[in-house]
Structure 1
Amino acid sequence: MKKTLKKIASQLHLWLGISSGLVVFVVALSGCLLVFEDELEPVINKQFHVVNVVDGQPRLPLDVLQRNVARQFPGKKITRISFEPGADRTVVFGLKSGKKEKDIFSVAVNPYTGQIAGTRQENDAFFHVVLQLHRYLCLEETGKVITGISCVMFLVIMITGLVLWWPNRKNRKQRFTVKWGAKFKRLNWDLHAVFGFYTLPIVFIIAATGLVWSYKWVNNMIYITFDGKPQQKREAPANISLVPASQGTLEKIFTETNHQLPNPGRILMTIPESDSISITVSKADDHAAISNIVNFLYFGKNDARLISKRLYASETRGMKVRRLVYPIHTGSLLGWPTKIIAFLAALIAATLPVTGIIIWLGKKTKSKKTPVRAVGARRRAAKSKIVVEG
């Protein structure tokens, strides 16, 4: 029974690994980079994100910055404004640059001088390309299907790998330690099996949470399990103000947001094209024990009046659990410690298809040599028999 189970596990592990190996390698390696996106982005594109701060220099009103951007880029509508915590960070305006919602042209503005610090097409930004590679292999919906199927395969590969790894009395020590001084073949096997075992729980969780983006039914299962119903569509409330747009609306909204939510955190202001919908402002809570805690405020587009709130504390259990999926998947749940763990686990996961292929090729080469050796042995035995009989 055990031999049959291991044989089945071995075949599944081998052929699913060969089928999904390249995709797993690409997704895991790109995931390593995405773990530290928030830390690397302002380093890679410093001019776009960071400005020099002069002591005592006041920040210009947000509406002044908005008019400067609108004047320099006529014909493009501002759809969002983002603010990173920190006095030395630019204010980034997102302008719609195409027919699709994802076609965003970003303009970074120095909040103290009003000068344009940099511009870029978001679809061409480094980490956006890495994310597209991670989720879609840069193949859009086709790539999403491929990564989703490969993710399921990888989960099965990990389970079958654990079955094949499971030690007995004779090889228990070998299963838990890497023999660094061994020959390449043995060392490669240890790197695959031993490192695979130690990282299995973390990589399994990362892969399993990744299914939320691949399959809508997985996402809905979270809400059905914890709320008893599928995810409810959330929309910004109507903009009920009938008064004409007043001066300084955006600055008033920004000030009121920080008054309502005094904690530090990234602010994203979403400005709808329609005047009938209110402005949505989200603010992350960097003081929270875990990441991805976000509160929402809704303001009148003309008078900056606070219409309603959607605070994290009042969210459903399903929404709170769904909020946890992203930081668990990226390793940002508890900050640097979990990020480092996720980075190392993803890096090792990227090596598993490589070491696995080497193991397979080694066995394949050995199986080809074995019959030749057997024939040679039979010939030598026959010759010795003739000599004896002669």
Structure 2
Amino acid sequence: MKPMNSNKSTKKNRSFFYRISAWLHLWLGLVSGIVVVIVSLTAALLTFEEEIRLIFEAEHEKVSKIEGQKLLPPSELAVRVKEKYGWPSVYGVMYRGEGRSAMVPYYEDRSNYQQALINPYTGEVLHNRKLNDDFFRFMLMGHYQLWLPRPIGKPVVAYSTLIFVITLVTGLVLWWPKKWTKATKNASFKIKWPASPKRFNYDLHNVVGFYSLLIALVLALTGMVYGMKWFRSSSYWVASGGKTEVFERMHSDTTLVAVEGQVDEDVLMNNLLESGFDPDESRFSIFYPRGASGTWNLQVNSSLINTFRSRNYHFEQGSLDLLKVDPEFSEANGGDQLMKLNYDLHLGLIGGIWTKIIAFLVSIVSASLPVTGFIIWWGKEKKKRKSKVKARKKVQVNRKMAVPA
């Protein structure tokens, strides 16, 4: 038989834990609310960036392939783009599958990043996307750094996301009923139809927030990987079983002499296609060496949807000796697998269009939570103020009545 004091102590501890959770949920939510709304709304817009571009920029994004037509080599695409726009160099050549234009990016610095879109079968240059004027680039800068200088905006977004994670956890504590009865189950799992605006707002925050919680946590935690080095390192360490993530920069031997007449990027592409790689059902990119000691980077992705299946190959300049290759996803350690999956999880790419829809909806809900939460708080504050005014009036009346005539 449990002693009575034990029950009282348990209830007291639960009550204290509940009050602490309520205090954290309220004030952390108020502190991070505006940032969470901006980050969540920009995330919702970015989720369907590719689909929106295919609709509104179809003349640049889509190309027709005549039967028997082969892809032009990267060197030719690069030359045509450089001649068209007068670029001194290009960053790489990206082949994006059948029916899609190839992308040739030019990167001078963060203030001058452009993407040329070109027909990979005919070599017709279709469009130059200047990312400083691009809507989705603007949304990305808001999502990543609130349109502030990166050293300021990036940590603000990252730590606001961490605060959002805490509010999600404390929100679950507040949502959890003290007793599981039919009434509490209905209140916790169902939106009341019809209901007053006040009750409807409460259900949006409480019920819809609960159903979105797990996905919202995934989106927030995967976002923190990009914003916090210590969080990325910790996540990798845990997932890999105690290993540290290693970023190894590869270098070419500058004393080697290139093979006369050899066009390195075209050789890399030919070798890839001869290996049985299907360029219509897959993506691949060839990135140029940066400087005399840089390496060729061949990025191969066997999927048109997911990115976690991609592998990076680094080749020596001139000799084209293979210096390094990423392991297959199934062969990588847990930390590397987690980092490869992170981008797909963060954008909802992991399961194709359906998980993108889920990510979009949860982003909208995440943007609404600070708003509905503020409305709940503001309503309670108004009620408290009214109660205080009534109490003061009541005291004043009692005092008047107590004064002898």
> 2:59 aligned to 47, 50, 70, which one?
47
Written as runs of structure 1 = structure 2, the 5 A alignment for 1:40-79 is 40-79=52-91
Residues 144-194 of structure 1: per-residue CA shift (max 9 Å, x gap)? 111111111111111211121111345332121111211111111111111
SS in structure 2 of the partner of residue 117 of structure 1: strand
Distance 1:115 1:303 in 2: 31
Whether the 8 Å CA contact 1:10–1:164 is kept in 2: the answer is yes
For residue 24 of structure 1, report the CA deviation from its aligned partner. 0.6
Summarize the alignment of residues 83-102 of structure 1 with structure 2, pairs less than 5 Å apart. 83-86=95-98, 88-96=99-107, 98=108, 100=109
Task: Give the 3 Å change call, closer, same or farther, for CA 75–33 of structure 1 in structure 2.
Answer: closer
Query: CA–CA distance in 2 between the matches of 1:312 and 1:239?
Result: 27
Question: Which of 367, 373, 386 is matched with 1:369 structurally?
Answer: 386
Q: Does 1:224 align with 2:199?
A: no
Partners of 1:125 and 1:312 in 2: how far apart?
Answer: 35
Distance 1:358 1:325 in 2: 34
Is 1:111 paired with 2:125?
Answer: no
Picking from 146, 170, 177, the partner of 1:160 is: 170
Distance 1:341 1:104 in 2: 31
Is residue 2:210 matched to residue 1:197? Answer: yes
8, 16, 19: which one aligns with 2:31: 19
In structure 1, runs of 5+ residues without a counterpart are none
Match in the other structure for 1:132: 141
In the TM superposition, what are the counterparts of 1:175-324 in structure 2 within 5 Å? 175-225=188-238, 226=240, 228-238=242-252, 241-244=256-259, 246=261, 248-260=263-275, 262=277, 264-286=281-303, 291-302=307-318, 309-313=325-329, 314-324=331-341
- Alpha-carbon separation, structure 1, partners of 2:87 and 2:397: 87
Distance apart, 1:208 and its partner CA: 1.7
CA RMSD of aligned residues (A): 2.8
Q: 1:243 to 1:376 in 2, by over 3 A?
A: closer
Unpaired segments of 5 or more residues in structure 2? 1-11
What percentage of residue pairs aligned between the two structures are identical?
Answer: 29
Tell me: CA distance 1:27–1:295, structure 2 relative to 1, closer, same or farther (3 Å): same
Write the distance in 1 (CA, Å) between the matches of 2:206 and 2:65.
52
- Structure 2 CA distance for partners of 1:292 and 1:40, relative to 1, 3 Å: farther
How many pairs are equivalent? 384
Report the equivalent of 1:350: 367
User: Normalized against structure 2, the TM-score is what?
Assistant: 0.85
Per-residue CA distance 1:264-284 (angstroms, 9 max, x = gap): 322121102323333111011
| Matched position secondary structure for 2:311 | strand
Retained in 2: the 8 A contact 1:245–1:302?
Answer: no
Pairing partner for 2:48 from 36, 41, 59: 36
Please say if residues 210 and 329 of structure 1, whose CA atoms lie closer than 8 Å, have aligned partners that are also in contact.
yes
Kindly state the Cα deviation for residue 380 of structure 1 after the two structures are TM-superposed: 6.7
Cα pair 1:245 1:303 within 8 Å, conserved: no
* 335-344 or 361-370, which deviates more: 335-344
| Distance (Å, rounded) in 2 between the aligned partners of 1:25 and 1:287 | 31
Amino acid at match of 1:231: E
Q: Note the C-alpha offset of 1:238.
A: 1.7
2:22 alignment partner in structure 1: 10
SS class of match (2:91): strand
Paired amino acid for 1:128: R
Of 72-81 and 28-37, more deviation after overlay is shown by 72-81
- Aligned-residue offset at 1:256: 1.6
Could you list the per-position Cα deviations for residues 323-356 of structure 1 after superposition, in whole angstroms to 9, with x for gaps in the alignment? 1122222221122232222221111111111111
Report SS of the residue matched to 1:78: coil
Partner-residue secondary structure (3-state), 1:106: strand
Partner Cα distance (1:210, 1:132) in 2: 14
Give the AA of the match of 1:160.
T
Alpha-carbon separation, structure 2, partners of 1:180 and 1:384: 47
Distance change in 2, residues 1:371/1:297 (3 Å) = closer
1:71-119 deviations in Å (ceiling 9; x for gaps): 2333521121111011x222211123x3x26732221112233221000
* Matched residue type, 2:388: P
8 Å contact kept, 1:178–1:187:
yes
